[in-house]
């Protein structure tokens, strides 16, 4: 079965590349927010998120950065915190046919919100 021609025939390559990146970004956020993390375990968690999300269709690259300072400042008496969107800076690069999209998630102070957005499509 040709998945592309059966299920995605009604959208352009540009729309598809954005869709795939956005699906991955949403999955990443909702799958990993709440994960217990420490300053010491942050690098391992970053790599795990990266490798898991790069398995998604059309995903070429995922960069994950967890704010170590925020982890240290938020630490509880149990020496860990639950990962939150405010602690993550994410870049997802998706590619489909001749299109490439860069999607980002970062904490925007003026919004007081971890915003997901399309940075670039070419």
What pLDDT sits at residue 76?
82
The pLDDT value recorded for residue 112 is 96
Task: Pick the closest to residue 89 from 75, 76, 103 (CA basis).
Answer: 103
Share of the chain above pLDDT 70, in %: 99
CA 30 to chain centre: 10
Q: What is the pLDDT of residue 79?
A: 87
In this predicted structure, the answer to whether residue 99 has a pLDDT above a threshold of 80 is yes
pLDDT at 1 over 80: no
Structure tokens at 64: 């994950």
pLDDT tens-place string over residues 45-63: 999 999 999 999 999 999 9
The pLDDT tens digits of the residues spanning 58-81 come to 999 999 999 999 999 988 888 899
Range 36-44 average pLDDT: 97
* Nearest Cα to Cα of residue 95 among 8, 7, 17, 6: 17
Please give the class, per CATH, of domain 12-121. Answer: alpha beta
Return mean pLDDT, the chain. 95
Task: Please report, for the chain, the start and end positions of each structural domain, with discontinuous segments joined by +.
Answer: 12-121
> SS3 sequence, 36-74?
EECCCCHHHHHHHHHHHHCCCCCEEEEEEEECHHHHHHH
């Amino acid at each position: 079965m040709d998945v592309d021609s059966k299920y995605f025939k009604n959208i352009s390559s540009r729309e598809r590349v954005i869709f795939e990146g956005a699906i991955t970004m949403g999955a990443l956020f909702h799958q990993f927010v709440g994960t217990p993390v420490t300053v010491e375990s942050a690098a391992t968690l970053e790599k795990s998120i990266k490798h898991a999300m790069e398995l998604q269709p059309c995903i070429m690259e995922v960069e994950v950065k967890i704010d170590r300072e925020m982890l240290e400042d938020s630490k509880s008496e149990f020496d860990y915190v639950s990962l939150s969107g405010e602690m993550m800076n994410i870049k997802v690069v998706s590619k489909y046919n001749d299109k490439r999209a860069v999607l980002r998630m970062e904490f925007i102070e003026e919004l007081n919100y971890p915003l997901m957005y399309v940075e670039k499509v070419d």
